[in-house]
Each structure stands twice: as structure tokens, then as C-alpha cells.
Amino acid sequence: MNRVILAGVGGYSLINAAYIWVATQHWYANVPGVLQTGPLNFHFAKDVALAFLSSGLALIWAARHADRSAAVCGMSWLCLHALFHIWIWVHRGLPVDFIAFTNLAGIQLPAGLAIWAAMRLPARRVEA
């Protein structure tokens, strides 16, 4: 089950990366809360897409090879991104709104699932 979760979150990350990369303007205008972050910066948006791409690839590798180290690498960006969005939510006054729901479903939940699944993979012994 852990590997299925990692593959699912990895696939979600790859889809998100492709969406941001290919349809940056559409992503910026249609994902709840993104407009509130300031004017569209294509360079920054493409950087975010590449972060999602690297996470997605690492998580899919981890799922395929039951590789806990790759899973930790893949989930790192997702978890840091989720924590940052929690910080933003707190500074918005903890509103229960569509932006908060979108963040919970699209950012915190995938990160939480990734860290849970990654930590349940067996650690590999390193031979000296």
C-alpha cells in the first residue's frame, strides 16, 4: 500500500508540474489563492514546476524500487511546501475558506500521505 501511495503522490506531482510548466498563465489564474500571492512571475512558476517534477520522479522511483531514501528526497519539497502554506494560512487569520480547503486537499494531504508512506518503507542497511 505504501508504494501505491508514493506512486499516486508522485503521479500527482508530475501532473502538477506539467500543468504549471505548460499552462502557467492558466494555473496562475485558476488555482485558488495563487492570484493573492502577487503578480505572475513565469521564472518562479517554472522553478516550482521543476520542484514538483523532481519530487514526482523521486517518489515514483521510490515506489518502484521500495527505496526509502528516494521517498524521503521526493517528499521533502512537498512537506516543506505544505508547512509554508500552513504558515501562510496562519498569517491569513486561519480562515475556513475555499483557499484553505484547496491547500488542504492539494498540498497538505499529498505531503502527509507521502511522509507517512515513506516512513513505512523499510530502511536499507548500508554496508561499509
Q: Is 79 exposed, middle or buried (0-12, 13-18, 19+ CB in 10 A)?
A: buried
**What cell does 96 get?**
475556513
Inter-CA distances, 59 with 13, 29, 75, 95, Å: 9, 28, 7, 31
Q: What is the pLDDT along the chain (128 residues), one digit of tens a residue?
A: 999 999 999 999 999 999 999 999 999 999 999 998 899 999 999 999 999 999 999 999 999 999 999 999 999 999 999 999 999 999 999 999 999 999 999 999 999 999 999 999 988 766 66
Q: Based on C-alpha coordinates, what's the Rg of the chain?
A: 15
Give domain limits for the chain: 2-120
**What cell does 104 get?**
488542504
Question: Would you tell me how many other CB atoms lie within 10 Å of the CB of residue 36?
Answer: 9
Cα–Cα distance for residue pair 5/113, rounded to 1 Å: 7
